[in-house]
Amino acid sequence: MLRSLFTALRNMSTETTIPKAAAAAAAVPAARAEKKSKKDAGNAFVLKTPKGTKDWADKDMIIREAIFGTLSSLFKRHGGVTIDTPVFELREILAGKYGEDSKLIYNLEDQGGELTSLRYDLTVPFARYVAMNGISQIKRYHIAKVYRRDQPAMTKGRMREFYQCDFDIAGNYDSMVPDAEILNVLVSGLLGLGIKDFKVKLNHRKILDGIFQVCGVKDEDVRKISSAVDKLDKSPWEVVKKEMVVDKHQPEEVADKIGEYVKLNGSIRDVLATLKSDELLSKNESASTGIEELSTMVEYLEALEVEQYISLDMSLARGLDYYTGVIYEAVTAQSAPPTDAAEKKKKVTKNGADVEDASEYVGVGSIAAGGRYDKLVGMFAPTTKSGKTQSIPCVGVSFGVERLFSLIKQRQGLEAKVRPTNTQVFIMSFGGGADWTGFLKERMQVANTLWSAGVECEYLYKAKANPRKQFEAAEKTGCPLAVILGKEEFPEGKIRVKVLGTGENDDGDLIEVKDLVDVVKAKLAESKVDGVDEVTRLIRSL
């Protein structure tokens, strides 16, 4: 009977693709999320997600969870332990930590006498956690949502609600050892996600501060000038110079001197050689300290074999106020805005209209970034009897998941190859005649056996399931194996295991029911290449 059923189904595709109707249906929610839907006749609200947010489903979640898994595994290899903190903090904890970006913090209403805000990043909550719990050393990773009241660019992964994956090292260690390891984590994380066309821009806050000092910037103006320099990745020097002179009231000759330094970039050793030969910087305490630290770190970066991915870029400033030492960010060709961004922005925002999505005129931005922040914990640490606060040195990196997702999803053919579920086995039953029950109870028993063995499996919730409908359901999930209960074979302790998606019209292997788990696991292991599953291979571009 099975032979005749397989013959009847030969013309049916066994490719693991979603039928067109299902694919079209799956596209509807995404289309609705892109624009405001019309109000229902009986409802007075618009059915949409808030600006800068989106719903995530099936294939997108598979990709995102694979990113989480890849990075979590990396963090654990480096000795990381994970923590979690509240999604909102006391407002005073976040206040004054982010410079000009503080305006992007979401403040919440007064709740019972406490003023709170949604967390802007995972770094400040981590510093609060370290100080509150009296921790002197920790390697921690944290994967969680953060919130910024920024202009969204949804297709570029720039959102108001998004995930960060952070890895930080807190504690007193030999100079630049943790910093070098963090950069190794940054590079390894991107390579592990199949992102190869990136570069890591590196700078040092002490060198940058020294440059501002020798150029004549007053100490109280250093941070706001640093914020202007940080815009050089989006704007030409002429625009940044105008901001320094017109908006931030610096003499033109000071801006010109700064321009000579911040245009320097190249290999770490080459740029260091240029900086070391500068007499003004060599006499500046801040700059000379930073140059010495980077000279130490480059040796460690070479030992970790990541120096070829890193360039020393004096225009990198990182706008956040809490950085005190090395700073870095990873960028790709898509990080920068389009060359005609100004014209596109003007066209989209004409008449002062509010823009729902700025994707047309912005770039992806940095896909990972971080730096050293030695004084942040001290802002929360209690004062000792001697009147001092104990600050724990920290250095870390943060991966922007949505920005990484936007790059990964653009890969050729990835969307079609990713399966919407993790189902590995579809359980079917074939039979017929007046006495045919459909083996629904028996399929449940087989499913329970496989579930108990850790195998993801499904079956149709129908007593007498049509063979074609069962194959269609298996195709929809894209699972690689079918386990088939035949009317005559199963009562005799026999069951079939068939590999799907090969295009071959074989009946599968007839095995003993008692051997089912071992055979299924062996066949699933054969589908892996070098022990790597399909989704991980797709994410890593293997």
Contact (CB, 8 A) for 507 and 3: yes
Residue 461 assigned to a binding site = no
Q: Pairing mode, if any, of strands 116-118 and 198-204?
A: unpaired
d(CA 143, CA 163) in angstroms, rounded, equals 7
Residues 6+ apart with CB under 8 A from 5: 430, 467
Number of residues assigned to the chain: 542
- Type of residue found at 382: P
How many of the other CB atoms lie within 10 Å of CB of 515? 12
Residue 318 assigned to a binding site = yes
Sign of CA dihedral 173, 176, 179, 183: negative
In 3D space, the residue among 296, 328, 299, 298 whose CA is nearest the CA of residue 314 turns out to be 328
Residue 435 assigned to a binding site = no
Residue 123 assigned to a binding site = yes
d(CA 123, CA 77) in angstroms, rounded, equals 21
Residue 537 assigned to a binding site = no
Backbone φ and ψ of 208, nearest 5°: -65, -45
Task: Note the helical H segments in 394-509.
Answer: 401-409, 414-417, 440-452, 467-477
How many of the other CB atoms lie within 10 Å of CB of 440? 16
d(CA 414, CA 368) in angstroms, rounded, equals 22
d(CA 186, CA 200) in angstroms, rounded, equals 9
How many of the other CB atoms lie within 10 Å of CB of 452? 9
Residue 122 assigned to a binding site = yes
Contact (CB, 8 A) for 268 and 202: yes
- Dihedral Cα 19, 22, 26, 28, nearest 10 deg: 120
How many of the other CB atoms lie within 10 Å of CB of 426? 26
Q: How far is CA 18 from CA 22, 61, 402, 476, in A?
A: 6, 17, 25, 5
- Type of residue found at 211: I
Residue 121 assigned to a binding site = yes
Binding positions for L-histidine are 121-123, 148, 164, 168, 318, 322-323
Binding positions are 121-123, 148, 164, 168, 318, 322-323
